[in-house]
Chain A
């Protein structure tokens, strides 16, 4: 951290304890009820790059023991300096080394299979990936995918703009490695949707066949 970074630095949470608890609670809600959009109020002066929701989630979740991988358009920006200053986390060069990954919408994303999925002994040590999407629609009208699994009473539809074309196939591979696997938080500017590794994702066309 140099003096120039510090000059442009934005404050973190107004109330670090209460606000990070609130964001943590919302993240928990998103992961325990996959397929439901959870609002994240804007609680901090977030960096210009990336979504506000992603920045808030990371600010609440990472600490000095975490290794974070940033997609190319975030690496080296104010967002990196901001997270480093407020959380003390470390940054890594390879997606596989990260405990957390922050993928910005305009970048090419690494494959889910390239991220750390944990081990059979310690599946909890897998990576958590924050993927920024253009927009997310849920409910029965959404035609792209149907979500089912723990925490989902009846299958819900999901359409997310900006995910890779082969996302369903990547996710099937991730789901198959259970109990290992990567957990994903999809974000829009102010909302988050959880996709824990236990969630099954099927395209509606597959269901109809």
Chain B
């Protein structure tokens, strides 16, 4: 049986290995940055509301929007080619507590042109680096983002599944042909 799945329009959200909590322990920051970059805005606003009010932001790099060239490769040995440009907003900030103690430096690179989103993601990145906030935020925010992404993924899969087509061919039964009977 051969099954062909016709995928719907390419989805902007890619599903990656670090969407799962069981992923590598190393490079934890890279993982949460990737998760945060795909966190939905309402979730970010809701979770970080308290921190936004309590902390002061020192901008190292204000949110700025630019283009990145995305390169693709066909096959394992294929030459790189330019797939197209994507809009990315980035920013870097140092978040300070109200008493002025310096916090960690948070970095954000997010798709699109939403400066507020970049700011919130960078703030979340900074807070996650601080032991005092890591536990809470990892629970409130990262778990929620993972859930959100897994829901999206299952929706995506369901949509793909609905276009699944099964092709049946009449299979030859083993030992049934003249050739094999032969001499």
Contacts and interface: CB of A to CB of B under 8 A. Distances in A.
Interface of B is mostly: strand
Contacts of A9: 60, 92, 94, 105
B105 A86 contact: no
A109 interface: no
Contacts of A11: 58-60
A122 B37 CA distance: 45
Contacts of A194: none
Classify chain A's interface size: 10 to 19
B133 interface: no
A9 B58 CA distance: 11
A28 interface: no
Contacts of B104: 7
A3 B62 CA distance: 18
Contact of B61 (A3, A7, A12): A12
Interface string A1-41: 00100110111100010000000000000000000000000
Contacts, number: 22
Interface of A is mostly: helix
Contacts of B59: 11
Contacts of B58: 11
Interface in B91-114: 92, 94, 104-105, 107
A79 B62 CA distance: 20
B60 A7 contact: no
Nearest to B129: A3
Best-buried of A9, A11, A12 by chain B (most CB within 10 Å): A11
A10 B58 CA distance: 10
B58 to A, nearest CB: 6
A13 to B, nearest CB: 10
A16 B91 CA distance: 14
A102 to B, nearest CB: 21
Interface string A115-126: 000000000000
Nearest to B93: A11
Nearest to A16: B62
B61 A6 contact: no
Best-buried of B60, B61, B104 by chain A (most CB within 10 Å): B60
A6 B62 CA distance: 15
A86 B61 CA distance: 8
B41 to A, nearest CB: 25
B171 to A, nearest CB: 59
B167 to A, nearest CB: 52
A15 to B, nearest CB: 9
6 contacts: A6-B60, A6-B105, A6-B107, A10-B60, A11-B60, A12-B60
